[in-house]
Amino acid sequence: MEIGKRIRLERIINRKSGNTVIVPLDHGVSMGPIDGIVDLRKTINEVAEGGANAVVVHKGIVAFGHRGYGKDVGLIVHLSASTMLAPDPNEKVLVACVEEAIKLGADAVSVHINIGSNTEAEQLRKLGRISRDCREWGMPLLAMMYPRGNGLNQFDEKAVSLAVRVGAEIGADIVKTNFTGSIESFKKVVEGSPVPVVVAGGEKMDSIEDILKMVDMAVQAGANGVAIGRNVFQAENPRKMTQAISMIVHENADWKEALEFLD
């Protein structure tokens, strides 16, 4: 691996555990100023102090989320976008490039690809181009790979395995995807990927216990961490929620210990 990529990856992956806790905060483009991301600086402060290794934001938000104090947190600039009002929200377009992310001080960039969507071919073409640019500039690439569209079950083991493998094959350094529901099934997903896999948080869950159980099972299956947004930044206490998740991801705590910490 190029030295530039290695140095940047060390800023978003815990050296001791080899895992990462990423908090995506890029929802403003797709969903608007929803609860938890209205005041980005406050939210980033909460999750950073809670032990998040990195946050994901769009390029226009970087300046508004930069604190300049407190515990450091890695910066991942998201390059993809679509809104919930689009005729096909699964169609993702590029709204930034690797060079812009470099100028903003990013430690990595991320792209969102929907495998099985009507625009899969174009999205893969863009993933290939971004992967090439990342290699040129020594920039780590987080690929958010999901099986979506055409009646697909986005939690199906085979579909998720395919999506993850596509991301790795085209040059991602880390792949984010859906948890398939069990340790056994997700272990197969991880085994099929030559690069680290992190689990998405998905829709906002009502049960904190369910969130922590998912994180615990994913780590047991071999995941290298999580990339959880709404279930962290919309938690009653985002800082403590980040700490609880970090206990599982970095300290080998189980979900019961993490839940006890939150009580």
Which residues are catalytic, by number?
Answer: 26, 146, 176
β-bridge pairing 174-177 and 225-227 = unpaired
**In the block, residue with structure tokens 């947190």:** 73
